[in-house]
Homo-oligomer: A and B are copies of this chain.
Amino acid sequence: MKSFGVKSWVFPQPVLIIGSYDANGAPDAMNAAWGGQYESNQVMVSLGSHRTTENIKAKGAFTVSFATAGTVTQCDYVGIVSANDDPDKMKKSGLHAKKAGKVDAPLFEELPFALECKLVKFNEDGILVGEIVDAVADEKILTDGKIDPAKLNAIVFDPVNAAYLKLGEKVGNAFKDGEKLK
């Protein structure tokens, strides 16, 4: 085994686009890879100190959309530019905000799958914890009423090579394939 030392290398990481409104109702989007499912109805996101962090504290809500192969440039952009530095960030981003159905936070027209979340707290370690109040998907990524991964075309973050990777074909059934070893 080759040792690489202390690295932030959970592999792979999701590409979470966090949507929020500021106190004046202006939308922001932020790319975050340090996050995941926390409890069955909760998500966690390690945000750090950003405009998004302040927005979520002000509004008590946020959305988590999943970046796609068709929006790599837009989704990368919202991770490297802060609305604190460029007031035109969202205009340049190419992402178009629309109000979420169940929380006071924006969804984005270009991102077809999202979780609408209420702020639970920033926990003892300063990590954002949110309660999922709805999962929503654009009709165009559904097949027979179910979310179709091939149509969603989500990406993940490879932290070793700082690359975005597509998802590929299905190779197994969870909670089922392992039965044959019992």
Contact = CB atoms under 8 A, between A and B. Distances in A.
Interface of A: 1-14, 16, 33-41, 43-44, 46, 64, 66, 69, 72-81, 86, 92-94, 101, 107, 113, 115, 123-125, 127, 129, 132-139, 142, 145-147, 149, 152, 154-182
Contact of A182 (B92, B127, B157, B177): B92
27 contacts: A1-B138, A2-B138, A2-B142, A6-B41, A6-B135, A8-B40, A9-B132, A10-B36, A10-B115, A11-B152, A11-B154, A13-B36, A34-B36, A37-B159, A39-B125, A44-B44, A72-B172, A73-B172, A73-B178, A76-B177, A77-B181, A77-B182, A78-B178, A155-B172, A163-B174, A165-B170, A167-B168
6 tightest CB-CB pairs across the interface, nearest first?
A77-B178, A36-B36, A76-B178, A166-B168, A72-B172, A168-B168
Contact of A12 (B7, B132, B136, B154): B154
A178 B79 contact: yes
Indicate how many identical chains form the complex. 2
B171 A155 contact: yes
Contact of A74 (B158, B159, B181): B181
Nearest to A38: B46
Contact of A127 (B10, B38, B161, B162): B38
A146 B113 CA distance: 33
Contact of A35 (B36, B64, B94, B178): B36
B173 A1 contact: no
Nearest to A2: B137
Nearest to A92: B181
Given A10-B37, A127-B38, A135-B7, A73 B171 contact: no
B37 A80 contact: no
